[in-house]
Chain A
Amino acid sequence: MLELVDLSRRYGDVVALDRVSFAVPEGTIVGFVGPNGAGKTTAMRIALGVLEPDTGTVRWRGNAVDADARRRFGYMPEERGLYPKMKVLEQLEYLARLHGLSKGEARRRSVDVVDLLGVTERAGDRVEALSLGNQQRVQLSAALVHAPEVLVLDEPFSGLDPIGVDVLSGVLRAQADRGVPVVFSSHQLELVERLCDAVVLINLGRVVTQGSIDELRASRDRRLLRVEVSGGDARWFDAVPGIRLEDRRDEAVLLALGEGVDEQRVLDVARATGDVRHFSRVRPTLAELFREAVQP
């Protein structure tokens, strides 16, 4: 398990992280979400040792992470970075060697990883000659080339086309399946919802909420119903105390149920009013949970 424990970091007067703690168990994918400037990049840089925290520690398998352990981490920074004039394969071999692989192993792994990400044909080209999408694939190759024990990716999906998104999703899932804890930040919340086992939501340097998406939904105090009734009083729901109208589109309404309001009672009232065309619980999307959490 990769653990970030009580991380705090200031830049001058700005508090970038305020006692941030979360864990990424082996074999799971954790989405790290939050608005711009929330502290995601700072937290990831600290996890990789690129930055030092003011206080707090990072642990891997129960031990404080040192330079040696970090060489076995894979990292994709938000600001993509490769040597523009170096050839793809040479570059990957170099990075693999920096991660501690032997010469032969570095060569073999580099060939494998460009194959995995579908850039074998460009392996002999300079990075600057590649399209942005292919550069992104090479960047991910650089994070994977040494078969890392831990993967930390900052906005890995930004700038990818739908096919690239599918390839990357598959790669991350495969990594998790081989037991690697994967944590990545993203603003593409549908993707996070689909791919991640758990989510950590951070705002203004603090963890606002964390857990599996179902847990996040359950922890929300609001319940929503979408009901469509044909005919009768447009404000039929006023007959049930504790209900608030959230949204209306023609005859379809979105209702927020107060505490203790019984859904079946709402249905009864609706049926008494007219023909009920639609009646459903609305499950909040991650995007909605996100907005609720970060809006003051």
Chain B
Amino acid sequence: MSDDRGTWKLVARRDFWVRLRDRGFLISTAITLVILCGLILIRANTAIGRPVFDLGMVGSSVSPDAITRLADTQGVTVHARTFEDRTAAEGALRSGGIDAFLEDDASLVGLHDAPSAALQQVVQAAVVSERLATVLTEAGLSPEDLSSIQERLGSVSLEPGDPNADENGRVAVVMLLLLYGQLFGYGIWVSSGVIEEKSSRVVEVLLATIRPRQLLAGKIVGIGGLGLLQLAVIGVVAATLASATDVLAIPGHAFATIGVALVWFVFGFGFYASLFAVAGALVSRMEELQNAIVPINLTILGSFFVSIAAIDDPNSALATSASLVPFSSALAMPVRIAVHAAPLWQEALSLALLSGSIAVLVPLAGRLYAGAVLRIGARVKLRDAWRAAS
């Protein structure tokens, strides 16, 4: 016989494995992965959000390659090809094979509406450039002079922004959604795990062998560990796929963001799970749980919306304070880190405040849990739970 200090590990192991083997868990993990991978693949096949056009050319002096190259410099993808005559080009246009065709370097023909402004610009520039080159060559300009005329402008910024801001924002959104889902979903799992033990009355058998705090700690660690594992698996699969399909320009950042999300999940879960456990201990039936968790729900949801706003404006007063206050920092701070907005001292301060509040919260939650978990029937008032455990 050993002493009971390690029994929370047994509890954690049971809570981890029982849920890992649960069919519902495996199915929901698979669904999340399928959706996320689907989104990544869709994005990979739409050339990372660039407009794409198929252009036909009839009797043009401009080469299709020249148009494609020029389009590329303007952030537009143009697949250009030559047709023998107008009839062939018209046929392709009507059948949807091309979006428009350029006829005799004079007009751009669309089917119903005028061709898109982006395409018009590209084609216009290509034709003008070709005409100029012809005129200048005929006037005796050497090819070297010609290319020096056509050289593009260099562009620099005095205060360059993050060239990857868009991508970082997208990564932050995905991370925020996952983190929100994990904190909330696994928090509910803690509540329902507590209720399951209450309503099946097994809690009295358990409490005859271990202390309420050991039971609470084991449950939070076991369920949180599973949430952490699932988050890591989903994050790594998604980031790997996104890198392999060139959806991400800088995969290293995505993997670093997964690391950030995992760290903040651990602390955020430590904070919220204690609250979820108390909510579960106060009621005896699943149906009553919805009411008991309303305050926690609203807190997490509010933090989620503030964090969404923080992706676009990560240094607003609201975003900065939300990323420091323990109630919302578990979502807001990782978002600001993902978009490279949080200075190191703020990250450290936020973590210190969050872990400090966990240190205060867990014993309080443990006491409320101990005072409420054996009282089956009507919903237990917080004050009664507090007194019962004195």
Contact = CB atoms under 8 A, between A and B. Distances in A.
A81 B10 contact: no
Interface string B190-228: 000000110011111111111100000000000000000
Interface in A83-118: 83-86, 94-95, 97-101
Given A50-B374, A94-B10, A98-B7, A81 B201 contact: yes
Interface string B1-16: 1111001001100100
B18 A97 contact: no
B376 interface: yes
Nearest to B370: A52
A77 B200 contact: no
Contacts of B205: 75, 77, 81-82, 95, 142
Contact of A82 (B2, B202, B209, B211): B202
The A interface, classified by DSSP as helix, strand, loop or mixed, is: loop
B204 to A, nearest CB: 4
A68 B210 CA distance: 9
B201 A77 contact: yes
A77 B204 CA distance: 7
B14 A71 contact: no
Q: Report the contact-size class of chain A (Cβ under 8 Å from the partner).
A: 20 to 34
The B interface, classified by DSSP as helix, strand, loop or mixed, is: helix
Contacts of B208: 48-50, 70, 73, 75, 77
Given A79-B376, A98-B10, A50 B207 contact: yes
Nearest to A128: B200
Interface residues of B, number: 25
A82 B10 contact: no
B1 A86 contact: no
Interface in B1-47: 1-4, 7, 10-11, 14, 18
Contact of A72 (B1, B10, B207): B1
B6 to A, nearest CB: 10
Contacts of A49: 207-208
Contact of B4 (A73, A77, A95, A100): A100
Contacts of A75: 205, 208
A291 to B, nearest CB: 30
Given A50-B374, A98-B210, A67 B18 contact: no
Contact of A81 (B11, B202, B209, B211): B202
A142 B374 CA distance: 19
Contacts of B14: 94
A101 B11 CA distance: 14
Contacts of A77: 201, 204-205, 208
Contacts of A68: 1, 3-4
Contacts of A100: 1-4
Q: Which 10 A-B pairs have the closest CB atoms?
A: A81-B201, A81-B202, A100-B1, A79-B201, A77-B204, A75-B208, A48-B208, A98-B209, A50-B207, A81-B205
30 contacts: A45-B204, A49-B207, A50-B204, A50-B207, A50-B208, A67-B211, A68-B3, A68-B4, A70-B209, A71-B1, A71-B209, A72-B1, A75-B208, A77-B208, A79-B376, A80-B201, A81-B201, A81-B202, A81-B203, A82-B200, A82-B202, A83-B197, A83-B202, A84-B200, A94-B10, A94-B14, A95-B205, A99-B1, A100-B4, A101-B1
Given A83-B196, A101-B1, 19 more contacts: A70-B208, A70-B209, A71-B210, A72-B1, A81-B200, A81-B201, A82-B200, A82-B205, A83-B200, A84-B200, A94-B10, A94-B14, A97-B10, A98-B7, A98-B10, A98-B11, A99-B1, A100-B1, A100-B4
Interface of B: 1-4, 7, 10-11, 14, 18, 196-197, 200-211, 374, 376
